[in-house]
Amino acid sequence: MSELNVESRELEGVVLLYPKGFVNAHTVRLFEGEIQKALDRSQYQIVVNCAGLTYIASAGLGALMGVIEEVRHNGGDIRLADLNETVRNIFEILGFNHLYRIFPSEVEAILSFRGEGEGGGPGA
Amino acid sequence: MTARRARPAVVLKVPSRTEFLAVVRDVTRAMAEVAGFNRGAAEEIALAVDEAATNVIEHAYRRAADRTVELRYEDRGEDLKVDVVDNGATVDPKAMPQVDLARYATERRKGGLGVHLMGKIMDSVTFHRTARRNVCCLVRHKPEGAAGGDGAEGADETR
């Protein structure tokens, strides 16, 4: 059973993360590690494409919350795209939909960073 | 209203290892669907029970991998009750700080969301200790019309 793998790539200065599987207490370190790699490179514009994310427990939500202050303090953000119904519902139960910008598609999430600093600046 | 039929309890015991949380989730979701909850509600209940089992592994057992987490599912007709039982250290959930999402990020916290989530999803979350065992009791009522798995449409309510 594939529990979680996280691929990443960069587009127009935005780091794109693709978690595939589920994030809970068992897999959260991998998820955290991939976010941390971006921060270690001083890349603070991050889109988590949730198309392959089947489920996220509080450990995963905590991982997002644990770094968001640092990310925003550095002028960036973590934005989410393409959530399935289960994941979206979990976000809404906790009110995370008020704390994070959620987009229907990855493209919209990437474009939302345009004009917000070094990653995908004006005219990019 | 027709009487809702209670069913015998089902007991699941899993090792206190996080790789078994996926099993807990799958079984819980199936039990909730058998009890008459629709898929969305069953997913929520599975998440709440996953969180309770995670708390046992991380706090009561402090990640010791050689212990057992017991889950007892009871369809009581009007509701589904899930007891999550351990014989580890007693953890007082009231001692955990309340989650204020507006302040949570600035406090750079990571924990505490699980209990908060359980409370949002379930109608009742209680903790007690009996015979040297800790019991976290989770209850979710079935909405009107849920037939307790007797063949009618599932409970169409998510939080």
The answer to the question of residue B83 being in a domain is yes
Distance CA A63, CA A60 (A): 5
Of A11, A23, A42, nearest in space to A111 by CA = A11
Residue appearing with tokens 């009618």: B152
Which of B18, B110, B116 to mutate: most A Cβ within 10 Å?
B110
Which of A93, A97, A98, A100 to mutate: most B Cβ within 10 Å?
A93
Q: Using a CB-CB distance cutoff of 8 angstroms, which residues of chain B are in contact with residue A85? A: 40
The percent of residues in chain A predicted with pLDDT above 90, rounded, is 85
Please say if the pLDDT value at position A23 is more than 70: yes
The answer to the question of residue B158 being in a domain is no
Sorted by where each begins, the domain ranges of chain A are 4-111
- Structural domain that includes position B30: 10-141
Asked if residue A15 lies in contact with residue A47, where contact means CB atoms within 8 angstroms, the answer is: yes
The answer to the question of residue B5 being in a domain is no
pLDDT at B152: 44
In A9-21, which positions are buried (b, 16+ CB within 10 angstroms) versus exposed (e)? eeeebbbbbbbbb
A vs B: CB pairs below 8 A: 82
pLDDT at A121: 34
Please say if the pLDDT value at position B97 is more than 80: no
The answer to the question of residue B126 being in a domain is yes
Q: Using a CB-CB distance cutoff of 8 angstroms, which residues of chain A are in contact with residue B18? A: 24-26
The answer to the question of residue B118 being in a domain is yes
Please say if the pLDDT value at position A89 is more than 70: yes
pLDDT mean across residues, chain B = 86
Q: With cut-offs at 50, 70 and 90, classify the pLDDT of residue A78.
A: very high
Please say if the pLDDT value at position A90 is more than 80: yes
| ipTM field | 0.85
Q: What is the pLDDT of residues A33-54, one digit of tens each?
A: 999 999 999 999 999 999 999 9
Classified by CATH at the fold level, domain A4-111 comes out as Transcription Regulator spoIIAA (3.30.750)
CA distance A81 to chain B (A): 20
The answer to the question of residue B44 being in a domain is yes
CATH of the domain at B95: 3.30.565.10
Cβ B25–A69 below 8 Å, yes or no? no
A11, A18, A21, A98 from A82: Cα distances, Å: 17, 11, 14, 16
pLDDT at B82: 98
As a dihedral over the C-alpha atoms of residue A118, residue A120, residue A123, residue A124, rounded to 10 degrees, the angle is 130
Across-strand partners of B68?
B15
Please say if the pLDDT value at position B40 is more than 60: yes
Which of B24, B50, B109, B121 to mutate: most A Cβ within 10 Å?
B50
The DSSP call for residue B107 is T
Q: With cut-offs at 50, 70 and 90, classify the pLDDT of residue B147.
A: low
Distance CA B47, CA B66 (A): 23
Cβ B47–A55 below 8 Å, yes or no? yes
Task: Please return the burial class of A110, using the count of CB atoms within 10 Å of its CB with bins 0-12, 13-18 and 19+.
Answer: buried
The answer to the question of residue B147 being in a domain is no
The answer to the question of residue B57 being in a domain is yes
